[in-house]
Structure 1
């Protein structure tokens, strides 16, 4: 796989007050996470809701200079100061190469990002996002517009649940775009629940759970297993779940 490792890993200081004296110390997966090394241009963090994957991505993004609510390093808007202090207890290990581009996409605050772009009101700047207000596109169209027009390659792209607004067809479009970005010497770090995205060839998948964090084969992830069983016999699964 092409691509570069602009972020080679990170370390978490469990004795830092920002970690030790906060709710972060109660997240089971984080208690097992000290030194972490990235090996692949595409890395997925997966796990149940509340497992800590979005918290880790947010801390990585803030440490790398991105706005906590999303955007590039040039964004500084803030609508709600809800990000954790994990970034203060984390040290990012950078690669030898410096990215020319980068972006932090988090689904939960994408509306605020789109609003900030409109507030800037610069037509030239807007061209980077497809030339049309992201608010005037559907949620899914705006997500794809960002990836197709704003992500230029030679960069670090940290994506928190990018599948949130995308149909299965658009997820396939995203997979194609991911391959293009990797070929353009990019690194993607993604938190997701999508078995379709996790199927990206040769990506590293790390499952976060109460037992810690573990590199896992695609076919061994709970996401793949549950979805496969459901699609293989939806009526049987529904009968079991709904007792019908």
Structure 2
């Protein structure tokens, strides 16, 4: 592991009534001790998980629209509102890594074409692959060096089968001892990765939880086991 601790410099915050400090999980946040090579952030949209992940990317000097330190391109509203207020503790410090934002991946793919860097992604334009293929090409070709990798909802472009393929890639990288991952996700498949730490941003705090305690697991399991009953309740039939 490289990144050991994340702290909110609360003394620098002028008001906890202003965004993003008004988000309950951020308002009550003080510090996180990272214990695993793979850490998952889970929670409803708006709970603060992507906000904190983006702040970590900003502090790592990654492009907060998506990319690493050497990917320079502009996308509106890509500045982190929280990055200046957190402190990262490393042992050892690494500068290599990548920040994946599913929502702005198109812009990153265009940037790769503009700088003629297709060779780093299997030799094909990311735009000339399906969304899922492009994501897996990124994982397989770019995530192959010692570094920290920050992924915001990578499942957005991955079918269940490709999520399993991603887990295999993730495991190979983690097993090498040279990679650390922090992943914000809604996917019960990805959350099943063994020995990961799962941090929930629901209920106004950031708390460690287990796979079976996540709403993602419980709701998915209940639906699969009680599909007809749940649909009747939802649809009023």
Q: TM-score range by the shorter chain?
A: over 0.9
CA distance in 1, matches of 2:13, 2:158: 39
Q: Among residues 109, 112, 118, which one is paired with 1:114 in the alignment?
A: 109
Matched pairs, number: 236
Cα deviation for residue 231 of structure 1 reads 0.7
Unaligned runs of 5+ in 2: none
Contact 1:207 1:216 in 2 (8 A): yes
- Residue pair 2:16, 2:27 contacting (<8 A) in 1 also: no
Which residue of 1 is the match for residue 149 of structure 2?
157
Q: 1:231 aligns with which of 199, 215, 224?
A: 224
Offset of residue 209 of structure 1: 1.5
Q: Does 1:9 align with 2:2?
A: no
Q: 1:173 to 1:117 in 2, by over 3 A?
A: same
Deviation at 1:17, TM superposition (A): 4.1
Aligned counterpart, 1:241: 234
Whether the aligned pair in 1 keeps the contact of 2:58 and 2:80 (CA below 8 Å) is: no
Distance 1:128 1:228 in 2: 39
Change (3 A) 1:62 1:148: same
Segments of structure 1 that go 5 or more residues without pairing to the other structure are none
RMSD across aligned positions (CA): 1.4
Q: Residue 89 of structure 1 aligns with which residue?
A: 85
TM-score by length of 2: 0.95
CA–CA separation in structure 2 for the residues paired with 1:18 and 1:54: 22
Q: CA deviation at 1:178?
A: 0.5
User: 1:141 aligns to what SS in structure 2?
Assistant: helix
